[in-house]
C-alpha cells in the first residue's frame, strides 16, 4: 500500500460524491425530506428550513463503493464497515422518523442508545476475533498500559463519545464536512505509517466523500448530511483510531469535536447547577454566531483549528 493507492481511493470517492449530488438533492426535495430548524437558534438559520437533509447517504454510498473497490477483505475491513454503516443506519432511522413522522426528536434516547450499543458490541466481537491488542499508548511518550477486558468498555465509550461529539459539530454549512476531512486525512497518514492498509483506504475514502459532499454543503448549503452522515462519520473515526492503536490521539486529532461536546456538557451542567449559561448558545459554534461572527467566519476558523489539531496529532504520533 502506498500513497498512489490512497490518492486513487480519495479521487474515486470524491468523484462519486460529486456525481451523486445532482441525483439525490432533487429526489430528497421531491420526497420533502427537508431540515427542521430550531426556533431557539440563530435567527439567520430560519431561512434554512426545508433544505434537503439526510445527505449523509451520499457520503456513505460514495465512501463505501470506493472502499469496496480498493480495500482487501478481512476482519479489519468488516470492522470498519460495521462501525461506519452501522452507526450511519442508526442516524438514518433517526432522520427518517424526524422527517416522515414529524417527530422532532426522532428516535428516543433509549432506542438510539440501543442501536449504538448494538454496533459497538459487534465491533468489539470482531476485535476479539482479530486478537486485537488491549494495550493503550500515551501520545508523545513511550508509556503504555494493558487494560485487559476493560479495553472493550473503552471501545464502547469511544463510540458513544465520538458519534455524539461529531453529531454536535454538524450545525453550520460545511463545518463538519471540512473538519472531518482534516481529521480523517491525518488518520490516513497514520494508518499508512502503522501499516494498516484497510484503515488507510477507508480514511482516504471518507476524505474524498466529504470533500465531494462539501461542493453542495458549503455556505449556502444546498443539502445537509443529517444524523445519517454525522453518526456514520463518528463511528468511522472511532474505528480508525482503535484499529491504528491511536485511541487517545483521537482526542487531539478530533479536538474540534471534543470542544463541541464539552461546550454542551458545560452548558447543561452550569444551567442545572447554577441556573446560568456559560455560552450564549451551545454547541459552541452557535456562541460565536450569536457573538456577531458570520457563519462563514465561524466555519473557516474551526477548519483552521482542525488543521492545527490534525498537525499536532501527526507530530505526537511521530514522536511516540
User: pLDDT grade, residue 140 (50/70/90)?
Assistant: confident
What does the pLDDT look like over 266-314, one tens digit per residue?
Answer: 999 999 999 889 999 999 999 999 999 999 999 999 999 999 999 999 9
What is the dihedral angle through the alpha carbons of 250, 255, 261, 264, rounded to the nearest 10 degrees? 160
227 is in an annotated binding site: yes
pLDDT surpassing 90 at residue 155 = yes
What does the pLDDT look like over 54-96, one tens digit per residue?
Answer: 999 999 999 999 999 999 889 999 999 999 999 999 999 999 9
More confident residue, 46 or 15: 15
167 is in an annotated binding site: yes
Domain coordinates of the chain in residue numbers? Answer: 3-246
Q: What is the pTM of this model?
A: 0.93
Amino acid at each position: 500500500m502506498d500513497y498512489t493507492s490512497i490518492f486513487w481511493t480519495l479521487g474515486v470517492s470524491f468523484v462519486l460524491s460529486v456525481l451523486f449530488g445532482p441525483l439525490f438533492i432533487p429526489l430528497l426535495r421531491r420526497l420533502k425530506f427537508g431540515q427542521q430548524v430550531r426556533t431557539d437558534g440563530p435567527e439567520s438559520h430560519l431561512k434554512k428550513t426545508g433544505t434537503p437533509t439526510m445527505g449523509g447517504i451520499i457520503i456513505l454510498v460514495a465512501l463505501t463503493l470506493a472502499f469496496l473497490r480498493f480495500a482487501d477483505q478481512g476482519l479489519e475491513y468488516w470492522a470498519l464497515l460495521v462501525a461506519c454503516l452501522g452507526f450511519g443506519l442508526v442516524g438514518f432511522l433517526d432522520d427518517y422518523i424526524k422527517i416522515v413522522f414529524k417527530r422532532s426528536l426522532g428516535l428516543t434516547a433509549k432506542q438510539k442508545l440501543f442501536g449504538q450499543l448494538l454496533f459497538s458490541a459487534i465491533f468489539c466481537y470482531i476485535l476479539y476475533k482479530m486478537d486485537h491488542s488491549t494495550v493503550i499508548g500515551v501520545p508523545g511518550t513511550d508509556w503504555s498500559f494493558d487494560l485487559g477486558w476493560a479495553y472493550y468498555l473503552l471501545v464502547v465509550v469511544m463510540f458513544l463519545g465520538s458519534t455524539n461529539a461529531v453529531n454536535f459539530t454538524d450545525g453550520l454549512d460545511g463545518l463538519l464536512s471540512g473538519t472531518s476531512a482534516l481529521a480523517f486525512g491525518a488518520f490516513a497518514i497514520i494508518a499508512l505509517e502503522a501499516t494498516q492498509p484497510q484503515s488507510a483506504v477507508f480514511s482516504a475514502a471518507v476524505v474524498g466523500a466529504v470533500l465531494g459532499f462539501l461542493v453542495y454543503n458549503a455556505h449556502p448549503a444546498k443539502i445537509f448530511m443529517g444524523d445519517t452522515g454525522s453518526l456514520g462519520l463518528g463511528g468511522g473515526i472511532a474505528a480508525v483510531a482503535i484499529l491504528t492503536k491511536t485511541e487517545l490521539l483521537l482526542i487531539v486529532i478530533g479536538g474540534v469535536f471534543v470542544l463541541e461536546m464539552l461546550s454542551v456538557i458545560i452548558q447543561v451542567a452550569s444551567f442545572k447547577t447554577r441556573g446560568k449559561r456559560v455560552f450564549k448558545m451551545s454547541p459552541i459554534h452557535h456562541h460565536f454566531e450569536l457573538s456577531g461572527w458570520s457563519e462563514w467566519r465561524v466555519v473557516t476558523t474551526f477548519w483552521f483549528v482542525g488543521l492545527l489539531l490534525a498537525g499536532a496529532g501527526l507530530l505526537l504520533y511521530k514522536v511516540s
